Structure 1
Amino acid sequence: MRQGRTPSGQSTLVIVHGLGDRASSWEKFVALMQPDVAVLALDLPGHGEAPPARDYHYGSLVEHVATAVRGVDRFALLGHSVGAAVAWLFAGRNPARVTRLILVEPAAPHQSRFIHSPTPEPRHPFTYASPGDALLAMRAFDLSVTEQEIRRDYRARPDGQWEPAFDPAILPPLVEDAKTLGEQFRRELAAIVAPTLIVRGERSMLRPEQAEEILAELPRGRLVAVRGGTHFLHRQQPEELARLVREFLAAG
């Protein structure tokens, strides 16, 4: 877990990153939120500085978040990609604790693209011959990524290939949950009482109709599309994302 400053009396925003990401990739966004908002950015198990886990099913990831925020009574919660699904499960199960919910480029496990995906092997699907090759691949999604970030977020294998620095054992459980828990994911969305903001990039992997499907399940949701945005809004357009989140938090 990485933590921003948390002075007494400040509102708190908890961030749950996406698959293969880490808390430190949110540093630019966190800096833009402070000092008015205290930020707790969490490393999910097997990511960043967090050790691997024995269980990577969504329920266990939700419990990881619950443990990390045990000392915080009420807070706003932001999740990105797979982290957004973890965030909405937490919000649906803990309605009294989440004041506002932000889903950035949410991965919706109950949607058909996940349900019909084959269960992957517990290994990284993409590897690269060098950090430079990884950089070129990532810049297809995010032109702002640097080689320094690649060297932080990737690691060299014994065979010389470079792979993302997260535990690939997380992949099969997440796909299994998508196949078996679809209705539960829908119910958890409908159970969310906190005002919810969905943020998608216009050039993202999340299609407009998929975002609208998530929105339709939410009792108090709204959807915003970021012009020119990709899946990695917190890296590519941190200023715009911070502006949207600040306005949403200030609305009540």
Structure 2
Amino acid sequence: MTTLLLLHGLGGDGGLWAPLLAEARWPGPVVDIDLDGHGGRPAPLRPAIGTLAAGVAARELPGDDVVVLGHSLGGAVGVLLATGLYGVRVRRLAIFGVKDDWDPDLVARLHRGADAPARTFATREEALERAALLAGVRGEVEGTPVTRGVAENGDGTWSTGFAPSSNLVAGQRVAALAPALTCPLLVVRGGDDPLVTPAEAAAFGIDPVTIAGAGHHPHLTHPADLWAEVGPFLREGLDA
């Protein structure tokens, strides 16, 4: 059975996929990993989309084939995996919220933050609030879904589990790699996504599917609508 591999966005963790998984009911293995530098995992020596893809490829995954669903940074990582250059056999790739036209001021701000030490917090609640802010989901959904890396440090303080150096991925672009993909691609965009324009979503060379009323995190706010689009695509041609 083909594995469903879920790749989250910058600042998040694999727990962000919970609302979508409640809709998906994938019949085979599901792997909602935390990317390196997220969820308490160490960041690579040189954080980049390529090193994150190499980190995913180095992990043991169930089965030989995967279909990939990636959000934002995770979608960009999925694009690299789907070139076949990392040794992962990707059968189908669906992405949403992937930026391809970065504002230089935003890139500069994120890169400056990459050199900052990881912050600590007096309480778990404060760390959870910060984790939600880093993932860009604070206020989008009830509660705080970014919890995997939030941990007590042994001295009474708490950390989010996000490595600030991960911000160095900002500004990197992958749409030009679309012709090199070895599998079918589906691009989805939230109709109200403030971070990804229709032109950015179309930069991969195919017409994107739009989720009306959704912002940058449709897997949290519109999981049924998102799965209605990506589910049939990811399962097409695969053994049940």
What interval of TM-score do these two structures reach, taking the shorter chain for normalisation?
Answer: 0.7 to 0.9
Partner of 1:6: none
Aligned-pair distance for 1:55?
A: 2.7
Residues 1:171 and 1:96: Cα distance change in structure 2 (over 3 Å)? closer
Residues 1:202 and 1:126: Cα distance change in structure 2 (over 3 Å)? farther
Residues 1:74 and 1:207: Cα distance change in structure 2 (over 3 Å)? same
Residues 1:193 and 1:133: Cα distance change in structure 2 (over 3 Å)? closer
Partner of 1:198: 187
Q: Which moved more, 1:228-237 or 1:241-250?
A: 241-250
Q: What secondary structure is seen at the aligned counterpart in 1 of 2:92?
A: strand
Partner of 1:34: 25
* Gap regions ≥5 residues in structure 2: none
1:238 aligns with 2:223: yes
Q: Distance in 1 between matches of 2:233 and 2:9?
A: 21
Q: What are the Cα deviations for residues 167-219 of structure 1, in whole angstroms up to 9, with x where unaligned?
A: 101113x14x63xxx5xx354221013111111111112111111122x2xxx
Q: Distance in 2 between matches of 1:136 and 1:38?
A: 27
Partner of 2:142: 145
Residues 1:169 and 1:117: Cα distance change in structure 2 (over 3 Å)? closer
Aligned residues between the structures: 226
1:64 aligns with 2:22: no
Q: What secondary structure is seen at the aligned counterpart in 2 of 1:93?
A: coil
Residues 1:65 and 1:96: Cα distance change in structure 2 (over 3 Å)? closer
Partner of 1:211: 201
**TM-score, normalising length from structure 1?**
0.73
1:229 aligns with 2:220: no
Structure 1 counterpart of 2:178, which letter? L
Residues 1:46 and 1:194: Cα distance change in structure 2 (over 3 Å)? same
Partner of 1:113: 103
Residues 1:81 and 1:127: Cα distance change in structure 2 (over 3 Å)? farther
Q: Distance in 2 between matches of 1:93 and 1:62?
A: 11
Residues 1:69 and 1:98: Cα distance change in structure 2 (over 3 Å)? farther
Partner of 1:104: 96
Partner of 2:177: 188
* Gap regions ≥5 residues in structure 1: 1-9
Q: Distance in 2 between matches of 1:63 and 1:210?
A: 25
Aligned-pair distance for 1:222?
A: 4.3
- Of the two structures, which has the highest relative contact order with CA contacts closer than 8 Å and spacing of 6 or more? 2
Q: Distance in 2 between matches of 1:151 and 1:82?
A: 18
1:52 aligns with 2:43: yes
Q: Is the 8 A contact 2:8 2:74 kept in 1?
A: yes
Partner of 1:166: 162
Q: Distance in 1 between matches of 2:178 and 2:120?
A: 35
Q: What are the Cα deviations for residues 121-164 of structure 1, in whole angstroms up to 9, with x where unaligned?
A: 3238999997497699766761x2315x366676799xxx9985
- Deviating runs (4+, > 4 A) in structure 1? 124-141, 150-157, 161-164
Q: Is the 8 A contact 1:20 1:165 kept in 2?
A: no
Q: Percent identity?
A: 25
